Structure 1
Amino acid sequence: MIGREVLTLGIAVHMTCDRVTFYRPNIVNVCESKSYIDFNSLDTDVPQEFRSELMELLKSFKNFFTTGVPTTRADTEPMTIRLKDPNKTVYRRPYRLSPIERSVVRDKINELLEANIIRPSSSPFASPILLVKKKDGSDRMCIDYRELKDNTV
């Protein structure tokens, strides 16, 4: 039996049929926003009879919404992707972007780099970026992972 005082120190236990491992898990930072979001002015497709329930739910979690780019990266366990064919490297060339779109993508990438959300990669894998218009007219940067997804277990 493992004492509760050990577990309260942040030590986790992984047990298998032949081994017991103690380790400190990575802690995920919870993002809390200090900015105010007006939930009553949200544009939503939810029918009117459910709108009040939606607003109450959103208001109960208002401290967990953020606007803009987060200021820190969540530290989680290293991610592994299991491939159906490990010898197949997915490398797609970038989509053509207009000079204005390239500028928007460059700005968004620099913003994410400065916030330590992303980091430069030396991976042989590459997937193209595209911009999609949001309802409000601003751009959302998306990555086309379809070919990688086809080779993922």
Structure 2
Amino acid sequence: MRPFIVVDKLHIDVILGTDALKAFRAVVDLDENSVTLKDTGEKFSIGSPSVEEMYSTKISSTVRIRPGGQALVVTDVLGEVAEETTVLVEGLVDLDASVRVARSLCTVHDKKVVVEVCSPSTEEMVIKKGTLLAAVSVVPESAFETTVSSPADESEPFSPGEKAPAKHESDWIHATIAASSQTTDASPDAMPELDKVLQAELKIDFSDSKLGDEQKELFSDLLGSFKDMFVETSIKPGRADLLEFPIDTGDSAPIKQRPYRVSKAEGDVMESEIQQYQEVSLIRPSSSPWASPVLIIRKPDGGPASASTIDASTP
């Protein structure tokens, strides 16, 4: 199950699947362009006409980016856009594949916006002055308005310039951290040993910190929500699924090594070790052409064999 965030308002269109509409018992009336929720009787309009203000930007000066590097560049907005307008910066669809533009929010100053670009190429890249680089969409002020509960008015709006009650922000952050820790747990089973030492090992020394009490608490909660990334035992190292990548083997032929005979005792040890690593999802059965027999290495002190010890000469 993936985590999700509930928002009060969206300034952009979203797509709801039929499963979501069914779950909310929604009735779509295309004649009136409306959606009605059977359970609550709430009615929402759909397909309301809106015009999105979008402009292109071109880079103000020639920039040289090293391989794999990134840079913040100033670009000129092509069009009439009001000063101090907040815009959403995105890469152009037909932009060169060797240039990547980070999606971000930026404020327009003198018809200029700052764009973050990076080069995934292995060669130095030069972006010449006047190159069309990004598309910016005007974000309406209503996108930054929200509602907070108060005794006088339960739906009193506040703008970005006003200070929202700290409790509302704190509750939202706590709720997000709690949802993240419950839905992104990478370990299928509990970690009692780590839980016992978590408070001691992750205890932070705030003696020289300038953070406030609430900020210290939020930071500690955030660190605790990622406890699965810390090592508990040799067969349960810290892990995360934030990044996945393939290994490019190029034109190299698969390595196939012939199996070798082992004694029954060593075979039992191998099976036991393999089973442990399968149970914690560190390895899985594979039919890949890149195959090599298991190699058990004795520890220098003559201790029992461990499949977690890999010979440096092993490919």
TM-score (norm 2): 0.27
Which structure has more relative contact order (CA 8 Å, sep 6+)? It is: 1
Greater gyration radius: 2
TM-score (norm 1): 0.49
Answer 1 or 2: which has greater helix percent: 1
